[in-house]
Chain A
Amino acid sequence: MNRHAKILEYALSSLLRRKYKNLGLVVVFSLVIAILSSVLFFTDSLRSEATAMLAAAPQLVVQRLSGGRHDLIPLAYGEKIRRIPGVGKVVPRYWGYYYDYLTRGNYTLLAVDQDRPDLQLLEGSLPTAVGECAIGEGVARAGMIGLGGYLVLADGRGQYAALKIRGIFSASSNLLTNDLVVMTREQLLQIFSQPADLATDLAVQVYNEAETALIAKKIKLLLPDARPITRGELIRTYEAVFNWRSGMVLTMFLGALVAFCILAWEKAAGLSAGEGREIGILKAIGWETGDILELKFWEGMAISLTSFLTGLLIGYVHVFFLGAVLLAPAIKGWSVIFPRFALNPDVSLYQILVMLVLTVVPYTACTIVPSWKAAITDPDIVMRG
């Protein structure tokens, strides 16, 4: 066994000698890491879910603005847009939000008239007639309904429509289908009491991807009350929203982080009389300053790495197995009416390394600095206290 292994062994036995103090530190440190990692795992998974969803989104979506707000768009706008050189298909889309009082869930209603390869079905098929629907897993769970059952929705006139469930969605992106209710166009227009010559928005195909921004500009010139949104803009918006929300949570959490840093610094800086004396004894019996620093380094690493891995595990379980119950209200924002959905685990090595650098390194430094100050002092002074 070489000298490093022997010093490591002694470091571990030193930690066990002060097990209650160190255990307390590990618990607090682990909780801090758990919260940090939960926020990062959660926002990153949401971001990648959103990115996966947006990858299948149209290159360009055109909405109509009225009073600065999104309004229904006339189908005639589609005809004008189609005449712009470089534009391929223009497809009207019909969708909207529906708040269900019974389940307190907010559903996304979508009309689908043709097969959508991005909407994979778990079981069943897409609706083909009025009175039928296909729903996401979250809607099925919230309403405690399944294939062959009925989803009851109220329309704008207060009339209820019972839609037979023909299919339940599954998708690599739960974010896309979890709260989704798909039906025929006629059915959706009926529920939203929407005129047939108006769509929710228009999906525009651009032949040359590089010309998307130029086409968007032309549409704006042609139709001043239209708002063209490119796929790139959507992705940037999602990024900004998730970054802002995670930043907000991390800011709220900053107080706890600062408190922990103070605790760690006090623990480290305030070498107890016993610890200081022990350093003096080790020096007196022939340990070098470097040996003592190595000992303290191993102690710091053992505490911070144990805490880091424990916290990381707690964060992972919290986000991907428990649905981030403690964070969802802060980050999702509208969770009260948002159906629960499970995130697909998406953990980047970069994230973990950043957390490692921001937590383990400062803690280990906090531990080593005061020990170094004690270790460079003459051993008899350290032992006299």
Chain B
Amino acid sequence: MPEPIIVTRGVSKIFNPGQPDEVVALNDVSLEIGQGLVTVIQGPSGSGKSTLLSLLGCMSRPSMGHILVGGKDVAKLPERFLTEIRRRTFGFIFQQFNLIRGITVLENVMLPLYPLDTPLTEIGRRAVSILDSLDILSKKDVKVQHLSGGEQQRVAIARALINEPRIILADEPTAHLDTRLSGELIDILQELNRNGKTIVIATHDPMVIEAPLVDTIVSMRDGTVQ
């Protein structure tokens, strides 16, 4: 196995600790994500896949345990550093696409780089190039709410790639796509992997789990790794 790029050690995540509605979403999860590999985290709904993915992507902090990204423990880092790691290391593809309605495809893709000092023309050039590679450049001036599900997913992928991340995290990326579009998405992810991206996919879609691009499968149930 190649050098691990993400390592979790005894990670637990408890929502509303000490409250009557306390939920243990993850319990003592330890795993390694190999650099340059495609890892699938599979399991039924409520098994903790999305929670684990958000912890791996520094979108939340664990209640216990350690998470090492590129050898650095991020579990206790202040929010500012987590944002920096998120910005430089990860690209997110969400189940609900999470595009910002009311603005165009191009603006959505450019958005992650707005708070950086990169000139707007450079951001635009990069966004156009990515949209072109994903075959959706013709829609660049269309507001995202007017796109089909498959087109929105491509825009979400383009946005995930604008900051040139090393790791792509995808949460149920085929949940709202039909078989043909799911197939296209798998092809895109495969192409990204060929270009050196590490890909982590949380899904229970057999089409993804059984796809030839998958290197490692992590099975989860009731917040633990099986």
| Chain A residues proximal to chain B, CB less than 8 Å | 1-3, 6-7, 10, 13, 17, 274, 277-278, 280-289, 291, 376, 378-381, 383
Contacts and interface: CB of A to CB of B under 8 A. Distances in A.
12 contacts: A1-B120, A6-B114, A6-B115, A13-B103, A13-B107, A17-B101, A274-B101, A281-B98, A281-B100, A286-B83, A378-B60, A380-B51
A10 B108 CA distance: 11
A283 B59 CA distance: 8
B159 A285 contact: yes
Interface string B39-83: 000000000001100100101110000000000000000011001
Contact of A379 (B59, B103, B119): B59
A287 B83 contact: yes
Query: Closest 7 CB pairs between A and B?
Result: A286-B87, A17-B102, A378-B60, A380-B54, A291-B115, A285-B112, A380-B59
A285 B120 CA distance: 17
A83 B37 CA distance: 111
Contacts of A383: 94, 98
Given A3-B114, A17-B103, A376 B159 contact: no
A285 B117 contact: no
Given A13-B107, A378-B59, A380-B60, A283 B83 contact: yes
A292 to B, nearest CB: 9
Most B CB contacts (10 A, CB to CB) among A1, A7, A277, A289 go to: A1
Interface string B86-113: 1100001010001111110001000110
Contacts of A1: 119-120
Contacts of A288: 80, 83-84, 115
Given A286-B163, A380-B60, A10 B114 contact: yes
Nearest to B110: A6
A381 B51 CA distance: 10
Most B CB contacts (10 A, CB to CB) among A6, A17, A277 go to: A6
Most A CB contacts (10 A, CB to CB) among B60, B79, B111, B115 go to: B115
A102 B145 CA distance: 68
Contacts of A291: 114-115
A82 to B, nearest CB: 81
Most A CB contacts (10 A, CB to CB) among B51, B98, B100 go to: B100
B211 to A, nearest CB: 25
Most B CB contacts (10 A, CB to CB) among A280, A283, A285, A383 go to: A285
Nearest to A281: B98
A18 to B, nearest CB: 8
A280 B57 CA distance: 14
